[in-house]
Amino acid sequence: MAKTLTVLLMRGPFISEHADLAVNFALEAKKKGYNVNLWLYLDGIWVPHVKTEKDYSNVGEWLRWALQKGVNVKACKRCSDARDVTEDDIINGIPIVAAYDLLNFLKESDKVVTFTG
Amino acid sequence: MANSIGIILTKTPHGSEDAENALMIGKEALAAGNNLGIFLLGDGVWVGKAGKNDRIQTLLLEIIQQGAKVAISEPHLKAYGLTGDKIVKDISIIKKPYVQMVDMVMEEWDKVIIF
């Protein structure tokens, strides 16, 4: 059975390279056949807010690609509520769920990496 | 049995304390009998630049001498105009950093921390 990786992303888009690194790392792990979870936490919930087309490569584009490829992405509800971000504001296919859902990700994972920015 | 510890370092040598903390933790991990791998990625590639006369470079050279395996992202080196001859000797240059990182995190390292 394939191993499971969980990536925690706590940093928003453009302020540092961590959002780019986290999403591309998750995508590469998925390509290699691992089960991959991506948990968007704190300012990480701004990453799926990058949802329109741009004329430059951007983390929103990579995140949409990661979703297409089967990366399991969830966003923290407390963090979203605090920032007034709803599911209508972000890329389709990313549920905003209780912070405690992170525990399930952690329990099922062989490895967990955290990008704090 | 020794653990294999991985450190992914994405910060510049002096922009914050992260680089020094990462290398200090690495040094302690080696002293405790663990195997250590370090991956220099993003701004972290500046930590691998040779010829600096500072504590960060001293620490890096020490832990390489003590057996740490250090790798550095080639795409990030190129983005910063750095070439292989400008980085510390014995650092492996990785052409596909994400591919290598996945292998290291999922298969090689028991524990990993990202700075």
- The ipTM of this complex is 0.91
CB pairs under 8 A between A and B: 39
Answer yes or no: do A28 and B99 touch at CB < 8 A. Answer: yes
Q: Closest chain B residue to A26 measured between Cα atoms? A: B102
pTM of the model: 0.94
Neighbours of A15 (CB within 10 A): 11
* Cβ of residue A26 closer than 8 Å to a chain B Cβ: no
Residues of chain B with pLDDT under 50: none
How far is CA B26 from each of CA A5, A75, B89, B104, B114, rounded to the nearest angstrom?
23, 32, 18, 16, 12
pLDDT at A80: 97
Which DSSP string do the residues of A29-86 spell out, in sequence order? HHHTT-EEEEEE-GGGGGGGG--S--SS--HHHHHHHHHHTT-EEEEEHHHHHHTT--
Contact residues on chain B for A110, CB-CB shorter than 8 A? 106
CA–CA dist B27, B38 (Å, integer): 11
Query: Of A79, A80, A24, nearest to A57 (Cα)?
Result: A24
Chain-wide mean pLDDT for chain A?
96
Answer yes or no: do A28 and B102 touch at CB < 8 A. Answer: yes
* Cβ of residue B40 closer than 8 Å to a chain A Cβ: no
How far is CA A114 from each of CA A7, A102, B58, B61, rounded to the nearest angstrom?
6, 12, 27, 27
Instruction: Give residue for tokens 């605090």.
Output: A82
How far is CA A88 from each of CA A50, A52, A95, B36, B75, rounded to the nearest angstrom?
12, 13, 10, 44, 36
Q: What tens digit of pLDDT does each residue of A6-58 get?
A: 999 999 999 999 999 999 999 999 999 999 999 999 999 999 999 998 999 89
Token code pair at residue A43: 């300012």
